[in-house]
Chains A and B, each alone.
Chain A
Amino acid sequence: MRGLRRLRSSRRWLGALAIGWGYLRRRGGAYLFILPTVTLMAIFMWYPLVNAMYASLFQWDGIHPLSQSAFVGLRNYVHLIEDLVFLNAAKNTVLWMVMYVINPTLLGLFFAIVLDAHIHGEVFFKSVIYLPGTIALVLVGFIWTWIYFPEGPVNQVLQAIGLDNLCRAWLANKATVLPAINVASTWVRTGFAMVVFLAGLRGIPPDLIEACKVDGGTRGQTIWYVVLPLLRPAFTVVIGTSLMLSIAVFDEVYVMTQGGPGRASEVLSLYVYTKTFRDQMAGLASAVGVVMFIISSLGGTLYVRQMIRGEVSV
């Protein structure tokens, strides 16, 4: 009797399985297609991220398992607020972010407006401005380390035109080091802003601009009241990606100055790097990483929303 019941219920299970299998065969292809990507991202992005949030609650050396480390709660985060080295890195990063967002955006917008005049050789101009953007930041760092060298090109030019008193060791001077590195980054980043703004400008219906002209608007008025508001998606893409990239800046700073002179150009990712690999304070480094992720995703959300929203309207 009992055996029969068990048989019947197992049959029910089999039935459910068969239905499930049939569903999977009909619709499951989709899941199989996304499986590789989701698995990889789960293992190499999402798991480390969640684990970083967890690890930030431990006094962890990055070598031993968390189970052998002391749980300290939020003490890592509290420690950060009191750590002058961290606060200095945070201050430098904020300064860096401001420069990184503003300079390439304005310069790129300017180039895009100029190039939008349908000139001959547009492709050539575009590739010249974009070209630095394809060079690895490490190599950009090398190029500009020499350019800023005390006996290097910048000072050679200044001497030649009689501005000797402006000569200085640009990367060894606390006041000039971050702006100097930012000039190199602007050189790299302007091309991206330009192509995005140019695509945005080309997407504006010409009759709108025509209508503004017919109504007696000046060129400046047309740009301010018609063009700029319609460029909002482009602004979102440029500023959103700039925020994400600038909070995590590492390559060019590390290669050009290693954070120096002193700690004048030390940014947050350098702090994370040294805390992880030199000081074996991976728990503290994870706490910084979590804070950086939160800030990055604030800027990134703008961008991702634009990416996804743009897709819907294809």
Chain B
Amino acid sequence: MNTPPTSVRRHISGTRFVLYVALAALCGAWMLPLFAVVVTSLKSQREMFATPIWVLPTTPMLRNFIDAWRAISRGMINSIIITSVSTLFAVAFAALCAYPLARLRFPGRDLIYLIIVGSFTIPYVSIIPTLVYFLDRVHLLGTLPGIIITHVAHGQPFVVFLLARFFAGIPEDITEAARIDGASLLVIFWRIMLPLTRPALAAASVIAFTWIWSDYFKALTIVPQTALSPVTVRLAALTGQYTGQHHLRSAAALIAMMPSILVFLGFQRSFIEGLTVGAVKG
């Protein structure tokens, strides 16, 4: 779709060539910080300080990764639990909510939609004292359900918006036909809307997954204790023990960033499509 005409493809012009070289150099520069982490994670502590960053380690210290994994494995498991459960419920509730907002007429619909999507602008930091106090009161502070339910609630504005946007794009006659056949709302939702919007559900899940995986502030304030905290909090808490041990921190950081990077690379297309919704038309 985006391929240029064949004539251009055959003779790449001079300016094009310069453009490609410049872009390649730029991408190389953009990856330098990651390159630095990978190199550092493979060096011993002595080598890390003795040799500059562009000197590769003589023998790659894969042990660093084993040590790092030992330190953060608990956090990784917690992260996986928190992120997958939160994503599942966030997308499920948001899909339920987005369907009538996008497709049905009922009193108060536009106002409800505006308030839900508008809540996107509430910064988490603004409600920390009162939310933490409330969670404590209902015995959810310092528990996995507490952090999960917070993620689900706070994920609603964006996911509802995203899904409503896609639901609105389903042609009216498809649902109309089902309604005339006597299908209930739930049946239309389950049998027609969800299968037809699978790409949107994928985009929403992928974006929610990387956001929740990357969360630090919510977990720091709701599950700060190490037994339950996700890898981000766990890793930051280890900083004190890791003074000067940048090789171990680098290895741990590489392990901890893998899930969200893999999800992004695997679902890039829907990921970027989901993020840019609303940016084009106006």
A153 touching B216 in the complex, CB below 8 Å, given contacts A44-B150, A293-B123: no
> Shortest distance in angstroms between B56's beta carbon and chain A's nearest beta carbon?
14
Q: B129 and A282: CB pair below 8 A? A: yes
Interface segment among B59-67, B196-204, B273-281: the answer is B273-281
| Chain A residues within an 8 Å CB radius of B52 | 153, 156-157, 160
Among residues of B, the one whose C-beta sits closest to the C-beta of A123 is B268
Contact B277 A37 (CB under 8 A): no
A247, B114: Cα distance in complex, Å: 22
- Can you list, as one digit per residue, whether each of B115-143 has a CB less than 8 Å from chain A (1) or not (0)? 01111111111111111111000000000
Chain A residue with Cβ nearest B282 = A233
Known: A131-B261, A142-B235. A136 touches B214 (CB 8 A): yes
Q: How far is the CB of A243 from chain B (nearest CB, A)?
A: 9
Contact of B53 among A138, A157, A250, A301 (CB under 8 A): A157
- How far apart are A232's CB and chain B's nearest CB, in angstroms? 7
A residues in contact with B276, CB < 8 Å: 195-196, 198-199
The residues of B that contact A313 with a CB separation of less than 8 Å are 281-282
B250 adjacent to A49 (CB under 8 Å): no
The answer to the question of A210 belonging to the interface, with a C-beta cut-off of 8 Å to chain B, is: no
Q: By the criterion of a CB under 8 Å from any partner CB, how many residues of chain A are at the interface?
A: 109
Contact of B264 among A131, A138, A196 (CB under 8 A): A131
Those of B136-178 within 8 Å (CB) of chain A: 149-150, 152-154, 156-157, 160-161, 164-165, 168-169
Chain B interface: which of A97-105, A143-151, A165-173, A220-228? A143-151
Is A300 a contact of B120 with CB atoms below 8 Å? yes
Q: Return chain A residues, CB-CB under 8 Å to B184.
A: 29
- B92 and chain A: residue at smallest CB distance: A36
Query: Known contacts A156-B52, A192-B275, A289-B126: does B117 contact A146 (CB below 8 Å)?
Result: no
Size category of the B interface is 35 or more
Closest to A248 in B: B123
Tell me whether B93 and A37 are in contact (CB under 8 A). Answer: yes
The answer on a CB contact under 8 Å between B210 and A134 is yes
Contact with B along A104-139 (1 / 0, CB 8 A): 000000000010011110111111111110111111
Q: A138-B232, A251-B217 are in contact. Are A130 and B129 (CB under 8 A)?
A: no
Is the C-beta of A200 less than 8 angstroms from some C-beta in chain B? yes
B36 at the interface (CB under 8 A from A): yes
Tell whether A289 pairs with B94 under 8 Å between CB atoms, given A296-B121, A301-B121. Answer: no
Contacts A135-B214, A138-B235 given; indicate if A29 touches B278 (C-beta within 8 A). no
Given A38-B97, A237-B278, A301-B121, CB of A153 within 8 Å of CB of B131: no
Do A251 and B216 contact each other (CB < 8 Å), given the known contacts A44-B153, A289-B126, A310-B278?
Answer: yes
Q: Which residues of A contact B37 (CB under 8 A)?
A: 143, 146
B192 — which chain A residues lie within 8 A by C-beta? none
Q: Report the minimum CB–CB distance from A184 to chain B (whole Å).
A: 8
A119 pairs with B23, CB closer than 8 A: yes
Task: List, in ascending order, chain A residues with CB within 8 A of B195's CB.
Answer: none
Q: With the chains together, A105 CA to B185 CA distance in Å? A: 43
Instruction: Kindly report which residue of chain A lies nearest to residue B52, judged by CB atoms.
Output: A156
Asked if A138 and B114 sit within 8 Å, CB to CB, the answer is no
Given A63-B133, A128-B27, A135-B257, 12 more A-B residue pairs with CB atoms under 8 Å apart are A41-B157, A48-B134, A52-B126, A55-B130, A62-B129, A134-B214, A136-B213, A136-B232, A142-B249, A146-B246, A157-B53, A244-B120
Query: Which residues of A does B touch, CB under 8 Å?
Result: 27, 29-31, 33-34, 36-38, 40-41, 43-49, 51-52, 55, 60, 62-63, 114, 117-120, 122-132, 134-139, 142-147, 149, 151-153, 156-157, 160, 187, 192, 195-196, 198-200, 202-203, 232-234, 236-237, 244, 247-248, 250-251, 254-255, 268-269, 272-273, 276-277, 282-283, 285-286, 289-290, 292-293, 296-297, 299-301, 303-304, 306-311, 313-314
